[in-house]
Protein backbone atom coordinates (compact mmCIF):
# COMPACT_ATOMS: atom_id res chain seq x y z
CA UNK A 1 0.00 0.00 0.00
CA UNK A 2 1.21 3.51 -0.83
CA UNK A 3 0.06 6.41 1.35
CA UNK A 4 0.93 10.07 0.69
CA UNK A 5 1.90 12.05 3.76
CA UNK A 6 2.72 15.69 4.42
CA UNK A 7 4.93 15.75 7.51
CA UNK A 8 6.21 18.57 9.73
CA UNK A 9 9.86 19.33 9.37
CA UNK A 10 9.83 18.80 5.62
CA UNK A 11 9.48 21.54 2.98
CA UNK A 12 5.80 22.40 2.51
CA UNK A 13 5.81 21.26 -1.11
CA UNK A 14 7.50 17.92 -0.40
CA UNK A 15 5.44 14.75 -0.08
CA UNK A 16 6.55 11.38 1.26
CA UNK A 17 5.18 7.94 0.56
CA UNK A 18 4.93 5.13 3.06
CA UNK A 19 5.80 2.01 1.07
CA UNK A 20 6.44 -1.20 2.94
CA UNK A 21 7.34 0.74 6.05
CA UNK A 22 9.82 3.04 4.32
CA UNK A 23 9.55 6.79 3.78
CA UNK A 24 10.16 7.60 0.13
CA UNK A 25 10.00 11.01 -1.57
CA UNK A 26 7.37 11.61 -4.23
CA UNK A 27 7.63 14.17 -7.00
CA UNK A 28 7.46 17.59 -5.32
CA UNK A 29 4.40 19.75 -5.70
CA UNK A 30 5.56 23.13 -6.98
CA UNK A 31 4.63 26.10 -4.76
CA UNK A 32 5.10 29.83 -5.22
CA UNK A 33 7.93 30.12 -2.71
CA UNK A 34 10.28 27.50 -4.18
CA UNK A 35 9.86 28.05 -7.92
CA UNK A 36 9.90 30.92 -10.35
CA UNK A 37 7.27 33.56 -11.07
CA UNK A 38 6.60 35.24 -14.42
CA UNK A 39 5.31 38.82 -14.56
CA UNK A 40 4.20 40.34 -17.84
CA UNK A 41 2.00 43.05 -19.26
CA UNK A 42 2.03 45.80 -21.87
CA UNK A 43 4.55 48.67 -21.68
CA UNK A 44 3.39 51.21 -19.12
CA UNK A 45 1.26 48.72 -17.16
CA UNK A 46 3.28 49.22 -13.97
CA UNK A 47 5.31 46.01 -14.00
CA UNK A 48 8.42 47.68 -12.59
CA UNK A 49 6.65 48.95 -9.49
CA UNK A 50 4.90 45.66 -8.80
CA UNK A 51 8.04 43.63 -9.49
CA UNK A 52 9.76 45.45 -6.65
CA UNK A 53 6.92 44.55 -4.30
CA UNK A 54 6.98 40.89 -5.35
CA UNK A 55 10.71 40.77 -4.64
CA UNK A 56 10.09 42.15 -1.15
CA UNK A 57 7.42 39.55 -0.41
CA UNK A 58 9.09 36.48 -1.91
CA UNK A 59 12.79 37.27 -1.74
CA UNK A 60 13.19 36.07 -5.31
CA UNK A 61 15.76 38.00 -7.36
CA UNK A 62 14.21 40.02 -10.18
CA UNK A 63 15.72 39.35 -13.59
CA UNK A 64 15.02 40.67 -17.05
CA UNK A 65 16.62 39.85 -20.37
CA UNK A 66 18.03 43.38 -20.51
CA UNK A 67 19.74 42.94 -17.14
CA UNK A 68 21.20 39.60 -18.12
CA UNK A 69 22.41 40.82 -21.50
CA UNK A 70 24.15 43.85 -20.01
CA UNK A 71 25.78 41.72 -17.30
CA UNK A 72 26.99 39.12 -19.80
CA UNK A 73 28.38 41.78 -22.15
CA UNK A 74 30.13 43.56 -19.27
CA UNK A 75 31.61 40.28 -18.02
CA UNK A 76 32.81 39.35 -21.50
CA UNK A 77 31.36 35.84 -21.38
CA UNK A 78 31.02 33.77 -24.54
CA UNK A 79 27.27 34.39 -24.64
CA UNK A 80 27.90 38.04 -23.86
CA UNK A 81 30.21 38.39 -26.85
CA UNK A 82 27.63 36.75 -29.12
CA UNK A 83 24.88 38.99 -27.78
CA UNK A 84 27.04 42.09 -28.15
CA UNK A 85 27.54 41.36 -31.83
CA UNK A 86 23.80 41.21 -32.44
CA UNK A 87 23.14 44.31 -30.33
CA UNK A 88 25.81 46.40 -32.07
CA UNK A 89 24.45 45.44 -35.48
CA UNK A 90 20.97 46.51 -34.42
CA UNK A 91 19.53 43.01 -34.64
CA UNK A 92 17.53 41.05 -32.09
CA UNK A 93 19.43 38.71 -29.81
CA UNK A 94 18.40 35.14 -30.78
CA UNK A 95 16.29 33.07 -28.40
CA UNK A 96 19.01 30.45 -27.97
CA UNK A 97 21.35 33.11 -26.56
CA UNK A 98 18.67 34.41 -24.19
CA UNK A 99 17.82 30.91 -23.02
CA UNK A 100 21.52 30.19 -22.54
CA UNK A 101 21.81 33.22 -20.28
CA UNK A 102 18.82 32.05 -18.25
CA UNK A 103 20.31 28.56 -17.91
CA UNK A 104 23.41 30.17 -16.43
CA UNK A 105 21.36 32.49 -14.18
CA UNK A 106 19.24 29.75 -12.61
CA UNK A 107 22.40 27.95 -11.49
CA UNK A 108 23.51 30.87 -9.30
CA UNK A 109 23.14 30.43 -5.55
CA UNK A 110 20.55 33.18 -5.07
CA UNK A 111 18.24 31.46 -7.57
CA UNK A 112 17.81 28.24 -5.60
CA UNK A 113 14.27 29.27 -4.55
CA UNK A 114 13.35 30.56 -7.98
CA UNK A 115 13.46 33.89 -9.78
CA UNK A 116 11.04 36.63 -10.74
CA UNK A 117 11.08 36.92 -14.52
CA UNK A 118 10.08 40.46 -15.41
CA UNK A 119 8.97 40.82 -19.03
CA UNK A 120 10.22 37.37 -20.01
CA UNK A 121 9.15 35.22 -21.75
CA UNK A 122 7.85 37.42 -24.57
CA UNK A 123 6.69 34.64 -26.86
CA UNK A 124 5.19 31.17 -26.54
CA UNK A 125 8.40 29.69 -27.95
CA UNK A 126 10.36 31.33 -25.13
CA UNK A 127 7.83 30.08 -22.58
CA UNK A 128 8.23 26.53 -23.86
CA UNK A 129 12.01 26.81 -23.56
CA UNK A 130 11.78 28.33 -20.07
CA UNK A 131 9.57 25.47 -18.90
CA UNK A 132 12.44 23.08 -19.63
CA UNK A 133 14.97 24.84 -17.40
CA UNK A 134 13.10 26.64 -14.62
CA UNK A 135 9.87 25.44 -12.96
CA UNK A 136 7.24 28.21 -12.98
CA UNK A 137 4.39 28.03 -10.48
CA UNK A 138 2.72 31.39 -11.00
CA UNK A 139 2.21 33.79 -13.90
CA UNK A 140 0.85 37.28 -13.26
CA UNK A 141 -0.51 39.29 -16.17
CA UNK A 142 -1.18 42.97 -15.49
CA UNK A 143 -3.81 44.03 -17.99
CA UNK A 144 -4.48 47.61 -19.09
CA UNK A 145 -6.41 48.83 -22.15
CA UNK A 146 -4.40 50.37 -24.99
CA UNK A 147 -5.94 53.83 -24.67
CA UNK A 148 -5.04 53.98 -20.98
CA UNK A 149 -1.49 52.92 -21.80
CA UNK A 150 -1.18 55.62 -24.45
CA UNK A 151 -2.38 58.24 -21.96
CA UNK A 152 -0.01 57.02 -19.25
CA UNK A 153 3.11 57.01 -21.40
CA UNK A 154 2.60 60.06 -23.61
CA UNK A 155 1.86 62.21 -20.57
CA UNK A 156 5.20 61.51 -18.86
CA UNK A 157 7.94 64.10 -18.58
CA UNK A 158 11.11 64.35 -16.51
CA UNK A 159 12.97 67.17 -14.78
CA UNK A 160 16.28 67.75 -16.54
CA UNK A 161 17.78 68.99 -13.28
CA UNK A 162 17.09 66.19 -10.79
CA UNK A 163 15.35 63.47 -12.80
CA UNK A 164 12.00 63.66 -10.99
CA UNK A 165 9.23 62.09 -13.05
CA UNK A 166 5.92 63.88 -13.66
CA UNK A 167 2.74 63.33 -15.64
CA UNK A 168 0.41 65.80 -17.31
CA UNK A 169 -2.63 64.34 -15.54
CA UNK A 170 -1.53 62.06 -12.74
CA UNK A 171 1.38 64.01 -11.30
CA UNK A 172 1.65 67.58 -12.60
CA UNK A 173 4.06 70.07 -11.05
CA UNK A 174 2.54 71.98 -8.14
CA UNK A 175 3.58 75.18 -9.91
CA UNK A 176 3.32 74.77 -13.67
CA UNK A 177 6.74 74.66 -15.31
CA UNK A 178 8.67 74.44 -12.01
CA UNK A 179 10.05 71.19 -10.57
CA UNK A 180 8.70 70.47 -7.09
CA UNK A 181 12.02 68.98 -6.00
CA UNK A 182 14.76 71.25 -7.33
CA UNK A 183 13.03 74.30 -8.81
CA UNK A 184 14.36 73.68 -12.32
CA UNK A 185 12.28 74.71 -15.32
CA UNK A 186 14.14 72.36 -17.68
CA UNK A 187 11.91 69.40 -18.55
CA UNK A 188 12.33 66.59 -21.04
CA UNK A 189 10.05 64.17 -22.83
CA UNK A 190 11.48 60.95 -24.24
CA UNK A 191 11.26 60.61 -28.00
CA UNK A 192 10.00 57.02 -27.65
CA UNK A 193 7.11 58.23 -25.48
CA UNK A 194 5.36 59.66 -28.54
CA UNK A 195 1.92 58.28 -29.37
CA UNK A 196 3.12 56.75 -32.63
CA UNK A 197 5.94 54.89 -30.90
CA UNK A 198 3.72 53.73 -28.04
CA UNK A 199 1.09 52.35 -30.39
CA UNK A 200 3.80 50.56 -32.38
CA UNK A 201 5.12 48.96 -29.19
CA UNK A 202 1.60 47.93 -28.19
CA UNK A 203 1.00 46.35 -31.59
CA UNK A 204 4.18 44.30 -31.20
CA UNK A 205 3.14 43.30 -27.68
CA UNK A 206 -0.29 42.07 -28.82
CA UNK A 207 1.21 40.12 -31.70
CA UNK A 208 4.04 38.44 -29.78
CA UNK A 209 3.26 38.45 -26.06
CA UNK A 210 -0.52 38.45 -25.64
CA UNK A 211 -0.76 34.77 -26.75
CA UNK A 212 1.25 33.90 -23.62
CA UNK A 213 -1.87 34.51 -21.54
CA UNK A 214 -3.77 31.67 -23.22
CA UNK A 215 -0.72 29.39 -23.14
CA UNK A 216 -0.24 29.80 -19.39
CA UNK A 217 -3.98 29.79 -18.71
CA UNK A 218 -4.26 26.36 -20.31
CA UNK A 219 -1.68 25.17 -17.80
CA UNK A 220 -3.55 26.61 -14.80
CA UNK A 221 -0.81 29.12 -13.95
CA UNK A 222 -2.24 32.45 -15.10
CA UNK A 223 -3.66 35.13 -12.81
CA UNK A 224 -5.02 38.26 -14.49
CA UNK A 225 -4.74 41.56 -12.62
CA UNK A 226 -6.66 44.72 -13.54
CA UNK A 227 -3.88 47.25 -13.94
CA UNK A 228 -6.33 50.16 -14.06
CA UNK A 229 -6.64 50.09 -10.28
CA UNK A 230 -4.38 52.16 -8.03
CA UNK A 231 -0.78 51.04 -7.47
CA UNK A 232 -1.60 49.96 -3.92
CA UNK A 233 -4.72 48.07 -4.98
CA UNK A 234 -2.83 46.23 -7.71
CA UNK A 235 -0.13 45.38 -5.16
CA UNK A 236 -2.75 44.13 -2.69
CA UNK A 237 -4.33 41.85 -5.29
CA UNK A 238 -0.96 40.41 -6.23
CA UNK A 239 -0.14 39.84 -2.53
CA UNK A 240 -3.36 37.84 -2.12
CA UNK A 241 -2.33 35.62 -5.03
CA UNK A 242 1.11 35.07 -3.53
CA UNK A 243 -0.52 34.02 -0.24
CA UNK A 244 -2.67 31.36 -1.88
Q: Which residues are marked as active site? A: 47, 122, 156, 189, 201
Q: 105: alpha, beta or left, given left = phi > 0 and alpha = psi -120 to 50? A: alpha
Distance CA 25, CA 7 (A): 11
Q: Which DSSP category does 30 fall into?
A: P
Q: Could you tell me which residues come within 8 angstroms of residue 192 by beta carbon, excluding any fewer than 6 positions away?
A: none
Decide if 81 contacts 135 (C-beta within 8 A).
no
Q: What is the C-alpha end-to-end distance of the chain, expressed in Å?
A: 32
Long-range Cβ contact pairs of 163-169 (< 8 A, separation 24 or more): none
Between CA 14 and CA 33 the distance in angstroms is 12
Amino acid sequence: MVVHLLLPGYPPASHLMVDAGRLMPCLPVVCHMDSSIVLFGPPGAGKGTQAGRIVEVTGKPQVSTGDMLRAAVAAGTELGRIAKGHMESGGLVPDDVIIGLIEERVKESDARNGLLFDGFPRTVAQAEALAQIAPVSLVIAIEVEDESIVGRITGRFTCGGCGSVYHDLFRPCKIEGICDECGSSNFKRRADDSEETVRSRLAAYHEQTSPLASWYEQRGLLHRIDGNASIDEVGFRISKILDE
